[in-house]
Every structure is written in structure tokens, then in C-alpha cells.
Structure 1
Amino acid sequence: MLDALKSRLRQVSATDRRLMARSAALPRTPADGLLTSLSRSANKGRLWWAVALVLTARKGATRRGALRGVAAIAGASASANLIGKPLFPRRRPAAEAVPEHRRLEKRPTSSSFPSGHAASATAFVTAVAMESPAAGLALAPLGAAVAYSRVHTGVHWPTDVGVGALIGVASAIGTQHWWPVHPDTPGHTAHRADAPVMRDGEDMLAVVNPGSGNAEEDPTDEVRFAWPKATLLYPDPGVDIRMQLTTEIARRNGTVRALGVAGGDGTVAAVASIAADTGLPLALIPAGTLNHFARDVGVRSMPDADAATEAGAAVGVDLGEVEIDGGSGAHRRWFVNTASLGGYPEMVRLREKIQQRHPKWPSAVIAMIRTLRTARPLRVRLNGKPALVWMVFVGNGTYAPKGFWPSRRPALDTGLLDVRYLRADVPYSRARFVLAAVTNTLNASHVYRQYDLPSLDVEILDGNRRVATDGEVGPLGRVFRFRSRPSALTIYRL
């Protein structure tokens, strides 16, 4: 059956020849040169890498679409060039099939079937559209032009392009196996909260961290626009921001009615901990790299925060809490997103060291590779039960999906922690973990465990370790008591 299919696909149908002849018969226009240049620019996906770079400049759906598009191109290119072409070899159209002024200077020599250019173009455009329909619609003509250019320049038959496009669409849809598309909606909470109306930020103390996210984009102007009457507080590098904020609140002797923060998740977590301790409502302007908490809460930008404070609209959301005993004494830390033990805190410390000489993202990748290679398992008791693990992840609330990459919280008021850990007591556990993560089968893997619990006690049996909360490395400890604190934080949100 496969041989019959191969034989059929090697043949060029009468329909292909007829459509190619119609394309060749089109009159000469300025579009000929444009299509030729466009076809060359898409070699090895260079055009789509450039478009992805532009899309990533803006946070939100377009950035996610660009990342999904790059992943889709990888799948489409591999399917078309490494599988399709060797399995179904087909000769390309003769150079004389199209007028000379359309021909590419360097004609490809690989199999004509299927079109890798068409596969990459439709993969990228479809993937972007899955995250941002508006951006996908804007890119659709460019994708169609790239796909048609392969026929116009005489290097592919029409069915090569058609099948390549189908491969691209399938590759884009296939990315959902590892990275599901979710509605861009805030996490649900049924707990409305009382918060004062903040006209222009009067009686607000707002922490502004210019070092969050892009160092060249100081959020001060946005804060001044939203809350012109607020008092701004900038982190002192030599003082813990929690201590600095607590001292300033005390100095104002009860005149502060709300806290504000403009920064990344680490800064937000620090200010949120003081807001929870003092019972003050929190307004936030996302100004970090990822802004996970702001995204889940539903505050996407400065106008969202401004509108909520002007209306006095707020909700109660859960916070995570960890009590740490041992090492340097007893400590307590709140966390808005996640906490973890094991490899992750070590990776954060290594990333910060590498980051002194290299950019943040490459530093994170290098740190992750080194940490996985040199990680040592932890002997622990989890709620009293002995275990040997590589790492323990604790999320504030129940995250989705339940596999390797938790990315969002459908609800912010569950009163539960999302507990996940990787076992180290099974043979080849790291290799099995990597294989399960790549195939998205962690839920069925013996090395992975996930539970939704109101609390978790972790006792380290072989010394002290550090806990990481919201990406910040915390103090050493031997016993860690994680708790969900329902509606511990009042936050402004429409």
C-alpha cells in the first residue's frame, strides 16, 4: 500500500500541469520580482524568524503566538524535509516551465514533494492565529504569498504546496499536545473584597522597581500617570524591600490606605506579603518579564490597574505561605505564584552568577543544563512519609496543565496548593523524566506525582536546603511547612 502511494505521489498529475501552465501564463508585473524575493527570504525560515522577533517585542498574545509559531515551524520543517521528501521523492518542474525573469538564481535540488516553504509558512501563521486571531489574520496574506511564490517561481507543483500547507496546519495544531491554548481570561474568584476608592492614588504608597523586566523601560511614568498623588518608594539595594516598606508604613502612622507596586513577580510577591500582613489592599502594574501573577489576576497593563483603583473594585485571592525552621532560625514567607525545593533554588543562584556576564535568558538555559547534570536527590519526609526526590514544586492554587509546564490558574480561591515532585528512587529517573516531558506523558509516568492539598510539610533528612519563592532564593531550613491562606490578599481588579 505504501509503495502504491509512493508511486502515485511521484507522478505529476494533469491538474498540476494545467495549474502550473496557468500560473506561467500570467502577464509580467512588478509582483514577479516581489514574489521571487519573498520566496528567497523564506529559505530556512529566515522570514518567519524575523517576524517572530517583531511579534515578541509586545507582551501578551502576540509574544505567545510568536513562540508557538517557532515551535510549529520546527515540527513542520522536520515533517516535510526529513520525512516527506525522503519517503515521497518527486521531480521538480523544469526550469522552462515558467518565464525566465521569474526563475530563482539557485534552484533547489531536493524532492519537490512536499513544499517545506509552504509547510513553514502555514505552520507559523496558524500558530500565531491560535494565540492572536488578529495577528494571524494580518499575517495570512504574507503566508499565502510565500506558499504561492513556490509555484510562481517554478520550483514546486501546486499539490506540493497544498500538502505542505496541510502539514503546516497539522504541526501548529499539534503544538497543543505540549502547550494547550487557553482563553486569555483572568483566574476566577468568587470573593469580592472591600477596598477604598483611590482617586489619583491619594494615600497610596507605591513601590516602583526600575530593575524589573527590561532595564531600559522604567515604569515610573506609568505609575505617575495612573496615581499622580501616590508616594513612590524605590527599592534600596542594601535593604530588604519588605523591611523598607514596613518601616515607611509605620513612619506614616496609619495614613496609608493602599499599597501599589510596579515590577515583576519577585517585587510583587514582596509587596503582597506586606499587604497581607497589614490588611492593606494592593494595586499592581505589571512591569516584569513574565508577570505571571498579574496575568492570572487579570491586570494586564497600567489602564487596568488605574480603572480598578478609581472604581474601588477588588477581590480576595489566596496566598501561599511557608514557615521555615532550621539553618538561620525560624522564618515565614508568602508567595503569590510558586515555591520549590531541590534543583530550582540552585538553578536560580547559578543563573544570577552567570547573569553577571551574560544576558538573562541564556543564563537561565545554561543554569538549567548545569543544574540537571549535577543535581543531587533529596531525602525528605512529605507529610510524614519518607521519599527520595529530585525536586518539590508547590503552587499557590491549582495550576493547569498538570504536566511538566504549569502555566495558569483557572481559579484564585481554591484554598489548595498544587504539589508536584519528581521521584529519584526509580531507575534512570532523570532520563525517564526527560522522555515523559518530551512526549507529554508525565501524568502516566512513575517518576512524577501531583496532588492538590491544603498544606504540605517537608522535612529534609540530610542537612539544610534553601527554598525558592517566586523565583527568589530564600533562607536555609530543614523543615518547611507550606499552607494555603484563603483570601489572604485583597487586590484591585475590575
Structure 2
Amino acid sequence: MTRRDARAVGQPLPSRWDRGVFHEVASRSWPAAEAVLPKLSRSADHGLLWFGVAAGMAAAGGRPARRAAVRGLLSLGVASATVNTLGKRAVRRKRPVLDAVPVIRQLSRQPFTTSFPSGHAASAAAFALGAGLQSRRWGVALAPLAWSVAFSRIYTGVHYPSDVLAGMALGAGAAFAVRGMVPTRDQLGPQARPRADAPALPGGHGLVVVVNGAAGTGGEALRQAREALPDAEFVECEPDGKELSEQFEAAAVRARALGVLGGDGTVNTAVATAVRHRLALAVFPGGTLNHFAYDLGVHTVADAARAVAGGDAAAVDVARFRPGPDGPAGHFVNTFSLGAYPDLVRVREEWAPRIGGWPAGLLAAFQVLRTSQPVEAEINGRHRQVWLLFVGNCGYRGLGLAPVRRHDLADGLLDVRMVYAGHWARIRLLTAALTGSLRRSPVHSAARLHRLRIDGLRPGVHLAYDGEVVPAAHATVELDKAEGGLTVYRPLPDPEAG
């Protein structure tokens, strides 16, 4: 097609600079590139290269690398959605003509989508920068690979330079958008830590710790806890909900303070027992997810052991939910939700035994975002159709739908965030996140409340609290707070931290 033909049908044309750089790359000899760049370009189809890199990071690099990998994949997902729903449809540029590109460089399967922007370049920039915003070391390590993938798209003749530059810009924007919605912990200030009285237990004498034997990092955490608190009693049990509850009740009878080693679901069971028996609770991070422990400032077993030995504790809020007027109250110390998130947890738990926890979480997120249906209910007296209802125990910091940290665990408030259903709700939400206007988006709302009432839940709707998912037992659910209802050990703030 000539430039005149393209102009006649309204197709955007490459600039003189675009054509000049493209032909310069095509005509120049690139030693060793012919054996590498075409294969690298093909390996990045559908993001497969980056999924493989993420798996390698998670397997070899420990928790920091896993966090960087997850952030990279989330950024890639946002970039891919933006390119495919907005970019490709807005600018319908033809692919470059391959006459000037040596046959040995050309891909065996030529892409059939439009040329602008480059999805491969967007995914590469999004993954590398997203991981780099979590870990600078990983960002530096991934940058050459991301640049090579982006350049390979020009080298193999499937994109003009401006396609690649625009794709990289979109990928970078996606990474910063994810950081805006899910801030890294070092973006947020230190937590408020109100003091409370708790018994000092040197060596752990008088502390009974119930250990979830199936917790994600429980074996190593248990070894460390035994070494740090040799006089404490440790009770190991299987992750059956009934057995856990019975073990906590038995431990509470003979303990001066109660301990729990496990993830957030196990901690939830411990909280109910500690509140009922008015015991201080020691939380040892030993699960796949440890949100409550981290928000307390308990990042390691050593942090918890030091607090127990010194009697350093805080009074924190416990949120409650009651199904129906006469139903038994449940507790949560992190989050309560309905809609997409319970579906995500349910799908994740189904896949986790086969492929592992965090890969299952990522795959579940992609499926749920594509297939979830809105929930219809009355929320504080107003009829709503919501894709997601999130309720946090105390105010979470950070913008968006995935807040990550609480500054004050005793503010007496519920952090309520909703995404309303409607035409193009998810696309509008994504656009608002990318443009920095999430707070003003008509499909998203946020409020801090003392109480919340949900009526009209239909049978089959699932609720999630602290990672556990259950079917709604009643059409009505009421939520409120027990302010300062739990005393929990936490280390004193570091005076040198400012």
C-alpha cells in the first residue's frame, strides 16, 4: 500500500523519522543479534517470557523477589489490557512493509493486529519497571532484557520505532498506576502504635503458642520461635478449623498469654479466643500472608519474641460482623468483602494445591476480573449493584481498591470501598486509575464509617473475611467495631527511625 493509498482510507502514516530509523535498523548488520533477537521476540508472545521470569524470581529470590514478581505481573496485566482495549483500537496503523528486512530476521508467524502501539514493548516496560519499583536491584537486572525485547520488535520488522516508544510509555504508566493503587510499604509512613498493658514473659514462660502445621513458612518460623522463647509451650495441630478452635480454647485455659503461628486465617481464629478470654495475643508471622502481623510492625519471629519478653503491646480494634438479628458474631482484624474478592479467594484455593499459592492468586485474579458478576443488595439503606465491596478494619493507606497498610489499628472506623456495576464499569475504573482520577471516578466510592448494614443478599453470595470464604447465612449482615477490643504484642518503635 502506498502512502497515497493509506491516506485515502484514513490510516495513520509513519513519520519520516519512523521510516528512516526503521530502514537504518533493517540495513545495518548486528553481530550475534540474528541468533538471539527473533527468538527473544517470539518468547515474549502473550507475556510467556515474563511469566517464566516471574516464576524464576519467585523460586530463587525469596519473599522480596516474589513481591517484585507479583508487582511486575500486575503491571503487565494493566498494560496489556490498556493496549488491547484502547491503544490498538484508537490508532489503526498498518504493520511495516518487510521488503528491507532480511528474511533471516523475520518472524515465522507475522502478527495480524494493528501496529500502534507495541504490546510487547508495553509488557516489557511494565514488568521491568513494576518489579523495579518494588526492588531496585531487580529493576536494574531486568532493564536490559526489557530493552532487548522492545528493540527486537523493530529488528524483526513488525513495528515502527514510534510503536515501540509508545508501548514502553504505556507500560511505564501502567507500572506507576499499579504503584498508585497498591503502594509499596516504603511509600507509607510508620504506623501509630498505641500502648497497652500485657504481661512480660521472659523466655516465653506462660505463653502457649498454637501452630498451624500447614502454614506457608511455618516450619522455619517454628524453629526460630522455639529458639527465641525456649520456655514457651508450642502446640502443633493440623489446619482443620474445628481442631484449631479447640486447641486455642484449651490453650487459653492454661496460658498467661496466647500465641499464634500461622497466616491471617489462623490469626482470625486466635483473635476470637483471645477476645473471649481477655488474653494478650502474640502473633508470629508464619503463613503465606501475614497482613495483620506486618501492620503491627511484627515482620519477623524475632520481633514478636522481643515484644513478648518485654511486655510491649498495643490495644487494637476488632471488627465484627453479625449475620441476621440473632446470628453469632464473627470477627475480622484485616478485611471483610463480598463480590469479586471472595470469588478470587475461592478460585485461588482451588488451584493453589496444584500450582502453588501466589501463581494461583494471579491466575485467579485474571479469571475473576473477566468473569465475575455484580452483587445486588441494600447498603446502609440504598439499593446498589456492586462488583466489589471492601471493608477494612481501620483505615487503610494508599489509593484504590487494593490498599496495603494501616497507620492506626485503633481508629474506631471501618474503611468502606465499593466498585459499582454498570456499563463499562471495569474499563472506566481502569481508565480512572491510569489517569490518576480514581477518587473522582463515578464507579468507585470510599468512606470511613462506624457501622455498615447490608440487606437483601441472595442465596449463594459468598463473604470473605481475613482470607476465609463462607456462604452468606442470612440476607442481612451488620458490621461494627469493638474499639480497642484486643491487646496484642508488638515491638516498640525504633527511636532511630524518626
Per the shorter chain, which TM-score range? 0.7 to 0.9
Contact 1:36 1:149 in 2 (8 A): yes
Q: Distance in 2 between matches of 1:292 and 1:128?
A: 20
Q: Deviations over 1:135-176 (max 9, x none)?
A: 111211222233344555666665654444334323433445
Q: Tell me whether 314-323 or 129-138 shows the greater mean CA deviation.
A: 314-323
Structure 1 residue aligned with 2:56: 54
CA-CA distance at 1:51 after TM superposition: 1.0
Structure 1 residue aligned with 2:330: 333
From 119, 130, 149, give the equivalent of 2:133: 130
Structure 2 residue aligned with 1:234: 236
Structure 2 residue aligned with 1:258: 257
How many equivalent residue pairs? 466
Distance 1:104 1:357, change over 3 A: same
Structure 2 residue aligned with 1:298: 297
Q: Deviations over 1:226-259 (max 9, x none)?
A: 4444322234637363443222221x2xxx3432
5+ residue gaps, structure 2: 1-5, 493-498
Secondary structure at the counterpart of residue 415 of structure 2: strand
Structure 1 counterpart of 2:248, one-letter code: L
Structure 2 residue aligned with 1:491: 489
From 383, 392, 403, give the equivalent of 1:388: 383
Structure 1 residue aligned with 2:410: 413
From 120, 124, 138, give the equivalent of 2:123: 120
Q: Distance in 2 between matches of 1:370 and 1:160?
A: 31
From 98, 102, 105, give the equivalent of 1:103: 105
CA-CA distance at 1:128 after TM superposition: 1.4
Normalization by structure 1: what TM-score? 0.73
Structure 2 residue aligned with 1:69: 75
Structure 1 residue aligned with 2:317: 318
CA-CA distance at 1:394 after TM superposition: 3.4
How is 1:282-293 mapped onto 2 (pairs within 5 angstroms)?
282-293=281-292
Q: Deviations over 1:194-249 (max 9, x none)?
A: 445555533321121123448x9785445434444432223463736344322222
Structure 1 residue aligned with 2:448: 452
5+ residue gaps, structure 1: 424-428
The reply on whether 1:189 has 2:192 as its aligned counterpart is yes
Distance 1:421 1:141, change over 3 A: closer
Normalization by structure 2: what TM-score? 0.73
- What RMSD, in angstroms, separates the aligned Cα atoms of the two structures? 4.7
Distance 1:122 1:430, change over 3 A: closer
Q: Distance in 2 between matches of 1:480 and 1:431?
A: 29
Contact 1:205 1:259 in 2 (8 A): yes
The reply on whether 1:41 has 2:47 as its aligned counterpart is no
Q: Distance in 2 between matches of 1:309 and 1:178?
A: 35
Distance 1:356 1:34, change over 3 A: closer
Structure 1 residue aligned with 2:267: 268
Q: Deviations over 1:361-420 (max 9, x none)?
A: 5778878988737x5x4457x3xxx44345765321013456544443233232212235
Distance 1:209 1:175, change over 3 A: same
Q: Deviations over 1:23-67 (max 9, x none)?
A: 51x5x45x6534454333223332112112233454453243233
Structure 2 residue aligned with 1:165: 168
Distance 1:241 1:187, change over 3 A: farther
Contact 1:187 1:412 in 2 (8 A): no
Q: Distance in 2 between matches of 1:147 and 1:465?
A: 44
Structure 2 counterpart of 1:65, one-letter code: R
Structure 2 counterpart of 1:284, one-letter code: V
Q: Distance in 1 between matches of 2:458 and 2:25?
A: 72
Secondary structure at the counterpart of residue 317 of structure 1: strand
Contact 1:460 1:479 in 2 (8 A): no
Structure 1 counterpart of 2:285, one-letter code: P
Contact 2:275 2:485 in 1 (8 A): no
Distance 1:368 1:19, change over 3 A: closer
Structure 2 counterpart of 1:134, one-letter code: R
Structure 2 residue aligned with 1:426: none
CA-CA distance at 1:452 after TM superposition: 1.4
Q: Distance in 2 between matches of 1:234 and 1:162?
A: 55
Using the aligned pairs only, state the percent identity: 30
Q: Distance in 2 between matches of 1:66 and 1:114?
A: 20
Q: Distance in 1 between matches of 2:459 and 2:44?
A: 55
